[in-house]
């Protein structure tokens, strides 16, 4: 959503990055809450339905060792951040560290995107308009790839 908004109005690029960062971290708290409070009801059913019990144990072990870095790095990738936030709640990761890692990752990601679009805007806009079909296909592939990575890393 940010891409067309920034390309239409480059002057608001960094304001949009701030809004997106704040919204993402606040949304991350909701995901954390879901993982923390609803795991016993909804989460456990999902894990059992997809036979991911072993993957959950591995994930919790990895999270206890590298939680901050998992949040910070996956906040930059095409892996849906909501999965990371829910997983953080399931692992009962320290909320202060979660907040710091999520804020760093999301602010960096959205500021980088805004900076690139602000800088490349005059070049990027005609290219995106000309090749919008391929941009959409590549975006969808990136999202699918994110889910595949999650499935095969923790399964």
Q: Name the band, by pLDDT with cuts 50, 70 and 90, for residue 154.
A: low
* pLDDT confidence of residue 155: 54
Residue 141 CB burial class (10 angstroms; 0-12, 13-18, ≥19): exposed
pLDDT in tens, 8-62: 788 899 999 999 999 999 999 998 998 899 888 877 777 677 676 777 777 778 8
Q: How many domains in the chain? A: 1
Q: What is the pLDDT of residue 6?
A: 83
pLDDT by residue (tens digit) across 83-118? 788 888 988 899 999 999 999 999 998 998 898 888
Q: Which residues of 91-117 are buried (b: 16+ CB within 10 A; e: fewer)?
A: bebeeeebeebbbbbbbebbbebbeeb
Residue 113 lies in domain: 2-153
The reported pLDDT for the residue numbered 20 is 93
Dihedral (CA of 136, 105, 114, 26) sign: positive
Which range, of 47-51, 68-72, 136-140, averages the lowest pLDDT? 47-51
Least confident of 55-64, 83-92, 125-134, 146-155: 146-155
Q: What is the pLDDT of residue 10?
A: 85
- pTM exceeding the 0.75 threshold for the entire prediction: no
Q: Is the pLDDT of residue 124 over 70?
A: yes
- pLDDT value of residue 87: 83
Instruction: State the average pLDDT over residues 118-139.
Output: 78
Tokens of 136: 């959409």
pLDDT of residue 4 exceeding 80, the answer is no
């Amino acid at each position: 959503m940010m891409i067309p908004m920034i390309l239409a109005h480059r002057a608001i690029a960094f304001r949009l990055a701030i809004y997106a960062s704040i919204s993402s971290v606040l949304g991350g708290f909701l995901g954390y809450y879901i993982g923390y409070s609803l795991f016993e009801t909804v989460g456990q059913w999902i894990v059992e339905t997809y036979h991911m019990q072993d993957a959950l144990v591995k994930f919790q072990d990895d999270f206890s060792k590298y939680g901050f870095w998992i949040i910070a790095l996956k906040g930059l990738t095409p892996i849906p951040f909501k999965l990371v936030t829910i997983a953080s709640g399931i692992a009962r990761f320290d909320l202060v560290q979660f907040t710091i890692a999520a804020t760093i990752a999301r602010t960096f990601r959205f500021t980088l995107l805004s900076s690139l679009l602000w800088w490349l805007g005059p070049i990027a806009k005609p290219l995106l308009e000309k090749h919008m079909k391929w941009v959409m296909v590549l975006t969808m592939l990136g999202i699918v790839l994110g889910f595949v990575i999650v499935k095969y890393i923790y399964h």
